[in-house]
Structure 1
């Protein structure tokens, strides 16, 4: 894994397009060329941007998984001296949700994501999100990367 210290929310926000409250991850716990492990604490926040009807539903864990991909891509690009290309989520596959909601969970959410396929045009990751060792969600997500304009 890269680095000795966790990566904080400010550094995460510098790596991904999701800003403010829509930056869902609070900390990168560990990462390497194929995997990333992150932690989130704000799923209990009544002002969470994905809440509706006073609840944060488990289906939103798919967004947490997709953002884990974005953070990992940003870290890989930064390690290579560049910036990650912006991506568009195009598919979710094999998603299994084990709960209806997550705003009532007292502890942190932890995501482990693994890069399955990567090219200059697209990426696919598998993700698993847990709470206190309990599996909440798992699945695969695919992103099509957008070409970056050349900077003169």
Structure 2
């Protein structure tokens, strides 16, 4: 239940594919936390880049994806689909991250694990420098039941 995860396995854990899968590797994880690393912030074709740079605010997406990777590992497959509904106490210490040499790392700690959602605390660092930290909450999407189609018996009166 703990240990590293190979980079090629990362995309099987989250709904994000291709360049939108922001983490390169899981360094360690257990039932309550995860530690990841990436160099993708340096990619000139990063999907979140605008006007030639990648803003620090996007570290919130890195934190949210850390949650999804952890959820996938905990479930033994892909993370349950969900929606980021809250960011709290987010502190950013830099303006941009694309100019940082070397890897950035995230440590995410599970705070609440409920049937309808998760809450995590995350901290993203570059070496010993904290780039971002905060809390994020995800509301899990309920499993969708098959939507019945309107057959002749369910059509309103007077319709063909």
Q: TM-score, normalised by structure 2?
A: 0.87
> 1:31, CA displacement in angstroms?
0.2
> 1:149, CA displacement in angstroms?
3.6
In the alignment, which residue of structure 2 is the partner of 1:131? Answer: 126
Gaps of 5+ in 2: 147-160
Gaps of 5+ in 1: none
Aligned residues: 146
Determine the C-alpha separation between the residues in 2 that align with 1:83 and 1:141.
19
Spell out structure 1 runs of 4+ moving beyond 4 A.
none
> 1:49, CA displacement in angstroms?
0.5
Determine whether 1:90 maps to 2:85: yes
> 1:10, CA displacement in angstroms?
2.2
> 1:150, CA displacement in angstroms?
6.0
> 1:36, CA displacement in angstroms?
0.1
Determine the C-alpha separation between the residues in 2 that align with 1:149 and 1:138.
34
Pairwise mapping of residues 70-149 of structure 1 onto structure 2 (< 5 A)? 70-78=68-76, 83-149=78-144
Determine the C-alpha separation between the residues in 1 that align with 2:143 and 2:42.
36
> 1:8, CA displacement in angstroms?
2.1
Q: Deviations over 1:79-136 (max 9, x none)?
A: xxx6532010000000000000000000100000000001110100000000011000
Determine the C-alpha separation between the residues in 2 that align with 1:112 and 1:90.
20
Determine whether 1:56 maps to 2:51: no
Q: TM-score, normalised by structure 1?
A: 0.92
Contact preservation (8 Å) 1:85, 1:148: no
Determine the C-alpha separation between the residues in 1 that align with 2:63 and 2:117.
16
> 1:12, CA displacement in angstroms?
1.3
In the alignment, which residue of structure 2 is the partner of 1:2? Answer: 2
In the alignment, which residue of structure 2 is the partner of 1:27? Answer: 25
